[in-house]
Amino acid sequence: MTIEQLYEQCEDKMAKSIAEIKKELATVRTGRANPLVLDKLSVEYYNTPTPLRQLATVNVQDGQTLVIVPYDKTILAGIEKAILKSDLGVTPNNDGVSIRLNFPQPTEDRRKELVKTVKKYGEDGKVAIRNIRRDVTDNLKKMEKTENIPEDEVKKAQEKIQKLTDKYTREMDDIVVEKEKEILSI
């Protein structure tokens, strides 16, 4: 493996970390109804935990309400039970055909809790990026010894990787700040 391949691999892993955090943050509930908050929800379907989004269509009725229409009406009670067990903080309204989830505006305390959760996700993401940097730097040092790569080349590569780490860390911070604004806006 060359230094350039190692650098490309590093950038790819860091980009995937950013994508994963964006995906996680999409599931954090804000004041708006967002179908992505249901992505982590699993429902017992024929004794198998199945993602809710595979069992039903989820539509946003207005800015505050999600409507869940299952493909199989017999699963309505299971979906309702899964929603009640989850940490969504909403009560499902079952009308026999669909389930409505009304998302009220979160209270000030709930917003602060959500911001803390978002910051934790952001910090976890930055830790992942730094771990990637550490692994790549370790690989560089091994390559220096095994492949007799000049020390100044290794130093340049480390500086390049540090710049990449800084770039993705800043991007992570920007994503977190954006999500915080979304949560705190009324």
The class level of CATH for 3-27+107-184 reads mainly alpha
Say how far apart CA 113 and CA 120 lie, in whole Å: 11
* 88, 107, 116, 124, 145 from 113: Cα distances, Å: 13, 10, 5, 17, 48
Q: So where are the chain's domains?
A: 3-27+107-184, 35-102
Question: Amino acid identity, residue 96?
Answer: G
pTM of the model: 0.74
Same CATH topology for 3-27+107-184 and 35-102: the answer is: no
> pLDDT for 94-140, tens place per residue?
998 999 988 877 788 888 888 999 999 999 999 999 999 999 999 98
The class level of CATH for 35-102 reads alpha beta
Least confident stretch, 28-42, 54-68, 72-86, 172-186: 28-42
Question: Amino acid identity, residue 141?
Answer: K
Mean pLDDT taken over the chain: 89
Residue 186, pLDDT > 70, answer: no
| Phi-psi domain of 89 (left: phi exceeds 0; alpha: psi -120 through 50; beta: other) | left
